[in-house]
Amino acid sequence: MIELWDFYAEWCPPCQQMAPIFEELEKEFTGRVAFRKIDVDNEPSEAAKFKVLSVPTFVILKDGAEIERKVGAVGKEVLKVWIEKNLP
């Protein structure tokens, strides 16, 4: 199973815009994708580990290793197609 991590911050307007989209996709991909939200202010070590410089940043991991990332707000369909492309 792949994982999708959302690096975000509460003070970030694009992150707030992406939050409901992330939640919708989490429901749509239940059992196929593990979703995780990482607040960069509360978990700076995770952000540093993945060299996250901007929020929102979305990272797809497989077996714990990053395979792709997207930076910035994107539409739901763009994110959905990107996830599907990375499913095994």
Do you know the residue count of the chain?
88
Bridge partners (DSSP) listed for residue 39: 8
Own/partner pairs for 22-31, CB < 8 Å, 24+ apart? 24/76, 25/76, 25/79, 25/80, 25/83, 28/80, 29/83
- The residue annotated as part of the active site, out of 5, 6, 7, 12, is 12
Catalytic residue status for 15: yes
Catalytic residue among 15, 33, 47, 52: 15
Show which residues are catalytic: 12, 15
